[in-house]
Amino acid sequence: MDERDAVMRTHRATEITVGEIGQRVTIAGWVQRRRDHGGITFLDIRDASGIVQVVADPEDHEAVGDIKMEFCVSVAGTVRARPEGTENPDLPTGQIEIGAEEIVVLSAAGTLPFMIDDRVEVDERVRLQYRYLDLRRPRMAANLKARSGATAAIRRTLDEAGFLEVETPTLINSTPEGARDVLVPSRLRTGEFYALPQSPQLFKQLLMIAGVERYFQIARCYRDEDFRSDRQLEFTQLDLEGAFWDRDDVLDVIESVLVAVAKELRGVDVPRPFPRLTWHEAMNRYGSDKPDIRFGMEIVDLSLVFAESEFGVFKDAIEAGGTVRGINAGTREWSRSRADALTDRAKEFGAKGLVWMVVEDDGSLRSPIAKFLSDPELGEIKRAFSAGPGNVLLLAADTWKTTVTVLGGLRLELGRPANHDELEFLWVVDFPLFEEGEDGSITFSHHPFTSPKSLDDMRERPREAISNAYDAVLNGIELGSGSVRIHDPDVQREVFEILGIDPDTAEKRFGWFLEALRYGTPPHAGFAFGVDRLVMALQNESSIREVIPFPKTQTGLDPMTGAPTWVDDAQLEELGIELTSDSEARREELEA
Amino acid sequence: MDERDAVMRTHRATEITVGEIGQRVTIAGWVQRRRDHGGITFLDIRDASGIVQVVADPEDHEAVGDIKMEFCVSVAGTVRARPEGTENPDLPTGQIEIGAEEIVVLSAAGTLPFMIDDRVEVDERVRLQYRYLDLRRPRMAANLKARSGATAAIRRTLDEAGFLEVETPTLINSTPEGARDVLVPSRLRTGEFYALPQSPQLFKQLLMIAGVERYFQIARCYRDEDFRSDRQLEFTQLDLEGAFWDRDDVLDVIESVLVAVAKELRGVDVPRPFPRLTWHEAMNRYGSDKPDIRFGMEIVDLSLVFAESEFGVFKDAIEAGGTVRGINAGTREWSRSRADALTDRAKEFGAKGLVWMVVEDDGSLRSPIAKFLSDPELGEIKRAFSAGPGNVLLLAADTWKTTVTVLGGLRLELGRPANHDELEFLWVVDFPLFEEGEDGSITFSHHPFTSPKSLDDMRERPREAISNAYDAVLNGIELGSGSVRIHDPDVQREVFEILGIDPDTAEKRFGWFLEALRYGTPPHAGFAFGVDRLVMALQNESSIREVIPFPKTQTGLDPMTGAPTWVDDAQLEELGIELTSDSEARREELEA
């Protein structure tokens, strides 16, 4: 059979059910399993829709002898009911089988580097090297499909709401998003460089100035960070902006998008509106600006309890303007080694130490510091924590920020669910406008285009000023963030100045943007969220690499194609660049 | 009014019609026009939906005094009927006006670099420098909207047909697409480079191997060519591939997509199937592999007529294995200078010369070569061209390829419509598999992954072999191309060999891909078309820059942001590269 002259298939695997019994069909797909039994060969044929069983007599079909796992074949045959007792209720096609009349090997398969089976654990590097086989596994195939469904749901929702999808350029100038830019040498302007976008931030603001009013884009973005556990050089975000918009307009439309995606991928109706916490509340209660509220274990303030404590550590912390707080870690086994391990963890989070207490059956508290505590204090502690027998209480004393951060970190370690079966979306609003660096300098906490809640506060107490910035959080994962933007060029200049960018530098770097703000810029606000992270959580995966079709390793390598690679000196010469002697040496070393 | 505490608008401009008379509304937008008349100020307020008229008494509204063109304002007021005789039937809101009660300047506008008006001609560089104002012009706003509508229509069509949208990586290895790659230095692997994709070709083939079966993506692609009239460094293509697919499956789905986009942007029903021409037929009849069939003027073969000609030039061409062909350019004014100009043009297209003939009223032929032609020849010429009095005939004699190319070029110059009012889609199929270089070497004409129609032909007569490649053409514009791919690694190796890529090089550059083909690769085929060009034609624009939100100039400059720019040496050092001394010199020169 010349495959170009024949219909390669009449049906997809799962389209063949009892209704097709007696019909002649042609299917095409991959051999998932082969069993030889009683002189008959059974082939499970898999295509994108699922699996169907083919039965062939090897004596009738020369091809059957050669067929191995993952061969790509087409089979023509007649659909028939499976013999009684051999039905498979787990398969949509489990009532029928195809009696093979013609079997064509479209493409042979060599020995597989791993089995196409979700139950087989394979080293990630090998999976990435053979990604085209890894993606055949049901879980990965489902992830690809879910991702496509997610972006389709996003677009459907925004199309219906009258948004325009606008493509912004990807060969742009550096913008100050906080991470390192990925640079691209220009050939026509040798020696100069474009940057790939960290986000389309300024272009979407320009679109607002251009009068687009409702913009979105599912945009590829780039950050050249040192790969942390779960970052990629390139990632995808839903980017969105609206003119004549306030914060609540943004929250409303983003909620509608997230709800649509959750419905598409999980079939659930997430209730709206999502809970909203101010940044202060989130930090106070959960010790995190991206709280996971699927479980309690909220942070309790004990500063009043210990205001007069005889325990020096607590007293000193409070007197220094700090705080004493804790969490009730619930009933759990407790031992010296467990205590030591958690104390080490707390120190990694920035604590000087960790105080633990266990409520005994008789209501007394066992703790290394028990002897320093008065009876009223003990009673108040138990009351504050609603603590009962067996509960483990963990306390920290330090500055407010350190205390809540440490307890927030421990809270996650002790209580965080291992999966994403449950979905808890929420908003964190009213972020600080600026952050203080270790040297006392001021930097932006969102980005320098975020508007302050109050101009007066910004001018008078910049370190305490609140911004119109907000984050969307799902199960403790920061999905994305947004803000009401500055639309007044004078305010924008003021913010640059507070950030220590002198007027000349501001003019040089952002002059073109300050100029753009001068022509009737509408008030506007927007948002961006990471598609990779959202799909990861909804697909119950623990790494974004599971939902990115072709990800790279943590050193930016593609084990399949070998990218990146060395290039010819002549190519570089055309771009007006050359390798440094260090790079040359690295190359020679690798080639040797 | 603090705009954060108030609703910025209750209605969009064109939502206000006679039904709203008597209602209090708030609108927001830009001042399109201001007229002061009889002590009253009329403001045309424009938002993304359109225009509505506001009437204000300057004595009641302090703000009105300051308001100039393109100020961004919000207006609250009561809707009322326009006084009789002042209605504007050209506007959807022409029956009503808003009596202003409150006017707030949201944002002032400085003196505009150009008027926001389609009728004003502005230098393109100035337009690009102030693109955010240029995009406020009705035509450009319509183009943005149309582009968004086009991609939405594409996605809708393919979603419904069961395609998955899959994002392929953009930091990849160089692939052999014929143009120069855009390179991206890697920081974590200093001295090595990624390439930005010229197309997702190999990744979409990998997705077929992965079992995706129906893939599409609206993908940003990059080519570092010397900018010709209408190229950009980055462009957008619809990329699509299907497994167990034949050519006609591709043509069918691409037609459905193009028809949906034409319907969305033009409201027309383009008839299907599109005409199909083989490459040979297209060249013979139109002298082009992307024929514009909106007009006739087809090429006529006169080789038989002149087989025995006394006119040496014709006779020699035929005897050398060439051909004599011509076009009937129709009735048009003819002069010596016109003839000279067209002859020059023909020479630019590769001709050695051009023969013209004009049919006189008496049926005789006026031509510099008339004296060499016999009466039977004259008669046969007129018959072949269906030529009548006043018709201008243009003839060329050369090799087949040169003759049809020259006549095809003249045909377009003389007959091509200046706009895209009419739409003529067509397919060109059966392209040659290979092209011959000037040195006799063989290169691919589509790309090296295109399958031959016949393996035997490819082996025996590679220079004449036909491929399974096809192009979609609209009004003489090549929208895109596709092919049935090679799915057998041995055939792929053979093609590399014919292309002069020795096995070692093939292994080094494509070894990973040849390996991927070894695991049950399904037969597959696909296509890609340029979204920019399609939207350009459907929007009746003559340049893709009119439908790209933020394009670059022909030297790759963004006049608005100044990208690309020089970067710090330290940044380059991190990437293991440095400027060449030539680049350094260029930089110093520019800074001086």
Name the region of A38 (left: φ>0; alpha: ψ -120 to 50; beta: rest).
Answer: left
The reported pLDDT for the residue numbered A440 is 80
Report phi then psi at A154, rounded to 5: -60, -50
- What average pLDDT does this structure show over B317-342? 95
Contact B211 A552 (CB under 8 A): no
Q: Give A157-217 as a 3 state SS string.
A: HHHHCCCEECCCCCCECCCCCCCCCEEEECCCCCCCEEEECCCCHHHHHHHHHCCCCEEEE
Cβ contacts of residue B26 below 8 Å, gap of 6+? B7, B8, B9, B10, B11, B74, B75, B76
Cβ contacts of residue B181 below 8 Å, gap of 6+? B174, B175, B195, B196, B198, B222, B224
| Residue B415 clears pLDDT 80, i.e. is over it | yes
B305 and B246 both lie in a single domain: no
Residues of B with CB below 8 A from A487's CB? 106-107
Q: Is A207 on the interface with B (CB under 8 A)?
A: yes
Contact B210 A170 (CB under 8 A): no
Segments in A287-442 forming alpha helices (H): 312-319, 336-348, 375-385, 400-415
pTM: 0.95
Q: Is B148 on the interface with A (CB under 8 A)?
A: yes
CA-CA distances (angstroms) from residue A386 to A379, A391, A442, B68, B207?
10, 9, 40, 65, 55
Low-confidence ranges of chain A (pLDDT < 50): 1-5
Q: Is A234 on the interface with B (CB under 8 A)?
A: yes
555-574 of A, contacting B, C-beta below 8 A: 555-558, 560-567, 571-573
A20 and A102 both lie in a single domain: yes
Query: Reduced to 3 states, what is the DSSP secondary structure of residue B390?
Result: coil
94-113 of A, contacting B, C-beta below 8 A: 106-110, 112
Contact B220 A484 (CB under 8 A): no
Residue A492: name the closest of A530, A470, A518 by CA.
Answer: A518
Q: Is residue A349 part of a domain?
A: yes
**Alpha-carbon span B96 to B101, nearest angstrom:** 16
Instruction: Kindly state the DSSP code that residue B467 receives in the 8-state scheme.
Output: B
Contact A577 B582 (CB under 8 A): no
Closest residue in B to A468 (Cα) is B4
Contact A518 B188 (CB under 8 A): no
Contact B171 A210 (CB under 8 A): no
The reported pLDDT for the residue numbered B229 is 67
Q: Is B74 on the interface with A (CB under 8 A)?
A: yes
Q: How far is A586 from chain B (nearest CA, A)?
A: 8
Nearest to B151 among A165, A202, A579 (CB): A165
**Alpha-carbon span B366 to A549, nearest angstrom:** 68
Q: Is A131 on the interface with B (CB under 8 A)?
A: yes
Amino acid at B419: N
Cβ contacts of residue A109 below 8 Å, gap of 6+? A68, A69, A70, A71, A72, B518, B519, B520
Give residue for tokens 């639309």.
A487
Contact A106 B226 (CB under 8 A): no
The reported pLDDT for the residue numbered A229 is 67
Contact A577 B560 (CB under 8 A): no
**Alpha-carbon span A365 to A360, nearest angstrom:** 6
Contact B173 A488 (CB under 8 A): no
B83 and B157 both lie in a single domain: no
Provide the CATH number for the domain around residue A403: 3.30.1360.30
Residue A521: CB atoms within 10 A of its CB come to 25
User: Token digits for A214?
Assistant: 């409702």
Q: Is A511 on the interface with B (CB under 8 A)?
A: no
**Alpha-carbon span B91 to B32, nearest angstrom:** 14
Distance of CA B478 to the CA centre of its chain: 8
**Alpha-carbon span B132 to A513, nearest angstrom:** 10
Q: Is residue A213 part of a domain?
A: no
Q: Is residue B249 part of a domain?
A: yes
Give me the number of domains chain A comprises. Answer: 3
Nearest to B109 among A159, A224, A520 (CB): A520
A405 and A462 both lie in a single domain: no
Dihedral sign, Cα of residue B493, residue B497, residue B500, residue B506: positive
A369 and A451 both lie in a single domain: no
**Alpha-carbon span A506 to A522, nearest angstrom:** 22
Nearest to B212 among A48, A173, A587 (CB): A48
Contact A244 B28 (CB under 8 A): yes
**Alpha-carbon span A264 to A256, nearest angstrom:** 12
Distance of CA B304 to the CA centre of its chain: 39
Give residue for tokens 């210990």.
A306
Better pLDDT: B477 or A442: B477
Task: Determine contact, residues B107/B83, Cβ cutoff 8 Å.
Answer: no
The reported pLDDT for the residue numbered B178 is 67
Residue A41: name the closest of A98, A117, A118, A124 by CA.
Answer: A98
Nearest to B512 among A147, A560, A567 (CB): A560
Q: Give A313-351 as a 3 state SS string.
A: HHHHHHHCCCEEEEEEEEECCCCHHHHHHHHHHHHHCCC
Interface predicted TM-score of the whole assembly (ipTM), two decimals: 0.95
Q: Is A419 on the interface with B (CB under 8 A)?
A: no
Distance of CA A138 to the CA centre of its chain: 21
As beta bridge partners, residue A355 has: A395
| Residue B207 clears pLDDT 60, i.e. is over it | yes
Number of H helices, E strands in chain A: 16, 23
**Alpha-carbon span B513 to B449, nearest angstrom:** 11
A308 and A402 both lie in a single domain: yes
Query: pLDDT, tens digit, for every residue of B546-555?
Result: 999 999 998 9
Instruction: Kindly state the DSSP code that residue B357 receives in the 8-state scheme.
Output: E
A373 and A444 both lie in a single domain: no
Q: Is residue A175 part of a domain?
A: no
Average per-residue pLDDT in chain B?
A: 94
467-486 of B, contacting A, C-beta below 8 A: 468, 484
B193 and B262 both lie in a single domain: yes
A503 and A408 both lie in a single domain: no
Nearest to A571 among B169, B183, B214 (CB): B183
User: Token digits for B393?
Assistant: 């005939």
**Alpha-carbon span B292 to A569, nearest angstrom:** 43
Provide the CATH number for the domain around residue B464: 3.30.930.10
Residue A393: name the closest of A355, A435, A349 by CA.
Answer: A355
| Residue B1 clears pLDDT 50, i.e. is over it | no
Which of A34, A188, A510 to mutate to probe the B interface, most B CBs <10 Å?
A188
Provide the CATH number for the domain around residue B75: 2.40.50.140
A300 and A411 both lie in a single domain: yes
Amino acid at A454: S
The reported pLDDT for the residue numbered B177 is 57
Distance of CA B371 to the CA centre of its chain: 46
**Alpha-carbon span B480 to B533, nearest angstrom:** 9
Contact A565 B144 (CB under 8 A): no
Give residue for tokens 């138990």.
A382
**Alpha-carbon span B32 to B68, nearest angstrom:** 9
Q: Is residue A334 part of a domain?
A: yes
Judge residue B189's burial from the number of C-beta atoms within 10 Å of its C-beta, 0-12 exposed, 13-18 middle, 19 or more buried: buried
To the nearest 10 degrees (0 to 180), the angle between helices A336-348 and A400-415 is 130
Instruction: Kindly state the DSSP code that residue B276 receives in the 8-state scheme.
Output: E
Nearest to B586 among A108, A191, A484 (CB): A191
Q: Is residue B126 part of a domain?
A: no
A209, A214, A218, A223: CA torsion to nearest 10: 40
Q: Is A114 on the interface with B (CB under 8 A)?
A: no
Query: pLDDT, tens digit, for every residue of B112-143?
Result: 999 999 998 999 999 999 999 999 999 999 99
Q: What is the domain range of residue A68?
A: 13-107
**Alpha-carbon span A409 to A299, nearest angstrom:** 11
User: Token digits for A426?
Assistant: 């929420």
Q: Is residue A493 part of a domain?
A: yes
Contact A580 B578 (CB under 8 A): yes
Residues of A with CB below 8 A from B583's CB? 190-191, 576-577
Q: Is A24 on the interface with B (CB under 8 A)?
A: no
Q: Is residue A60 part of a domain?
A: yes
Query: pLDDT, tens digit, for every residue of B220-273?
Result: 999 998 766 678 999 999 999 999 999 999 999 999 999 999 999 999 999 999
Domain-terminating residue out of A107, A122, A147: A107
A394 and A303 both lie in a single domain: yes
Q: Where are the beta strands (DSSP E) in A38-163?
A: 40-47, 50-56, 72-81, 96-107
Residue A394: name the closest of A331, A329, A337, A298 by CA.
Answer: A329
pLDDT-derived band at B307 (thresholds 50, 70, 90) equals confident
Contact A148 B141 (CB under 8 A): no
B378 and B437 both lie in a single domain: no
Nearest to A136 among B186, B210, B555 (CB): B210
Which of B167, B510, B584 to mutate to probe the A interface, most A CBs <10 Å?
B167
Amino acid at B516: A
Judge residue A403's burial from the number of C-beta atoms within 10 Å of its C-beta, 0-12 exposed, 13-18 middle, 19 or more buried: buried
